Structure 1
């Protein structure tokens, strides 16, 4: 069994994964962001609860996992500014451990366990607290010189005349913040989605704006990487029925036409296990 640990900006999830992708002994808890070490110690305590079961451990993080320097940079977790997470975990546990970015783990998990089985040119876009993309081109991960490849949340996008980072338009907190400015009260993403599905025009426009930004970035994936499949995942993907109404036309408008005609865009079916399975997929490669 492989232990997959999914570290997010708000939650920590783990599970034992068999060779056929079955997940057992799932655990999920809110992440402790008191200080830099609180989240690390929480991961340690979580691993200890699994005893001697794991053959190897994969940890996926919402940021940059620098494989050369073996450091982690994750701005959505307090104090995780180039910390040596792998070193700290390896001092506590004897089995093989690997730390990988959530976007890279996600695309590997989808290829191994999900809808991208057998495919070699795949993009997985995570829409959640943050935004990132795992890119598999010709069967190889696109990492970049400093493992920053796929940090698409930083792409500048023009949204209705305002240029902002993609993540500041289409990530979950960004949509919630836009609603807060509009209604002067906080509403969660599921609440906003419900309002939109019941025909609230103002909320529908928020999803339309976010969808346009997503579609523009999808068109970049198509034109740069020519994938056969784009998988959308993360918490915000639960609103794909709303986002796709503007995202897909925008992708078709701006993407290379041959690539656009051949690419398939789907929502991940791995659900809440996506991060766990992705981390386990990375651990299997050890």
Structure 2
């Protein structure tokens, strides 16, 4: 990016989405323009020191001049309430209470903040995606697990210990399938990609293709799926009364097939006063959401 045009080099940040297989980085201006982005393979084994080295190398490639003033990082797991320690990170080896913000600040001398990757995705959708005209938003991600994020009055809600927003772990069926969380019959056990495989023997993408071609069984499955999702989301609507719910993750490729039954179930279960004007939207940023939200996180560190 040799020609920076009239971009104000005083105000840029870096957003980082740290995943088990890839690390995605982007350099952003205050209005959300991505000046440059990069994806690098997550080192294997993904020890903290190897990951820090990989991040430093990647930053030197996307910001060789050192224009950035702050860094935000989304990590796959719980983050402490101060946004400085990765308490645990899924698919990264030996990650327990890793002081990632301190490690990066020591090397880069830039203020750094961490958040859970689903929370970053929610911030991204709120800032530049499906939620940008709303101040109260829920993001639900339907993929390997069911995750989510809560934006209340324009701010990410993480609770008093930083662990709020585990939307997929709410109980849908008290006697249902056992969940890794220790819960039984959580929403995740009905709505995640592994749950779909368990229930049908097919991949979500295969069920989407079958539904597209008019296959009755697949269409019926997605109707049932939407009903389950609507029932789970009904609890969240009663508690949070959001203006909008954005649905993201790989399973939302079949959004059109489960949306009608999901909306019907919400209308059946939720009082009109709790869902007035509620919009159910497909998330817009895809796998860039985490990186975008991490950049939004970084902006919160600057005056």
TM-score normalised per structure 2? 0.80
Q: Could you give the per-residue CA deviations for residues 82-136 of structure 1, whole angstroms, max 9, x where no partner exists? A: 3222222222211221111223323333333234335322212222333222212
Stretches of structure 2 that go unaligned for 5 or more consecutive residues are: 1-11, 178-183
Describe the shift of the 1:210–1:40 C-alpha distance in structure 2 as closer, same or farther (beyond 3 A).
farther
**1:27 maps to what in 2?**
38
Of 110, 122, 126, the residue aligned with 1:95 is: 110
Q: Which has the larger radius of gyration?
A: 2
Give how far 1:219 is off: 1.0
- The equivalent residue for 1:119 is 134
Match of 1:281, SS? helix
Aligned to 1:228: 243
Structure 1 residue 284: deviation in Å? 0.7
- Where 1:17 maps in the other structure, the secondary structure is strand
Q: Structure 1 residues 76 and 150, CA, compared in 2 at 3 Å: closer, same or farther?
A: farther
Picking from 30, 38, 42, the partner of 2:54 is: 42
Q: 1:7 to 1:207 in 2, by over 3 A?
A: farther
Higher-strand-fraction structure: 1
Matches within 5 A, 1:174-193: 174-179=195-200, 182=201, 187=203, 189-193=204-208
Q: How many residues align?
A: 280
Q: Sort the Cα spacing of 1:268 and 1:89 in 2 relative to 1 into closer, same or farther, 3 A.
A: same
Distance 1:129 1:155, change over 3 A: same
Structure 1 residues 136-156: Cα deviation after superposition (integer angstroms, max 9, x where no partner): 223343221211110112222
Q: Which residue of 1 aligns with 2:146?
A: 131
Q: 2-side partners of 1:65 and 1:102: how far apart?
A: 10
Structure 2 CA distance for aligned equivalents of residues 264 and 89 of structure 1: 39
* CA distance 1:29–1:210, shift in 2 (3 Å): farther
Q: CA RMSD in A?
A: 2.7
CA drift at 1:32? 4.1
**Correspondence for 1:170:** 191
CA contact (8 A) 1:222 1:256 kept: no
In the alignment, structure 1 residue 2 sits paired with structure 2 residue 30: no
| 1:218 match | 233
- 3-state secondary structure, aligned to 1:168: helix
1:198-257 deviation digits (Å, cap 9, x = unpaired)? 233444454444433321222122100111111222333222112323322222222233
User: In the aligned structure 1, how far is the partner of 2:92 from the partner of 2:45?
Assistant: 10
Offset of 1:53 from its aligned partner? Answer: 3.6
Name the CA shift for 1:69/1:120 in 2 (closer, same or farther; >3 Å). Answer: closer
Q: What is the alpha-carbon distance in structure 2 between the residues aligned to residue 39 and residue 172 of structure 1?
A: 28
CA distance in 1, matches of 2:42, 2:223: 31
Who is 1:83 aligned against?
A: 98
1:44 deviation in Å? 3.5
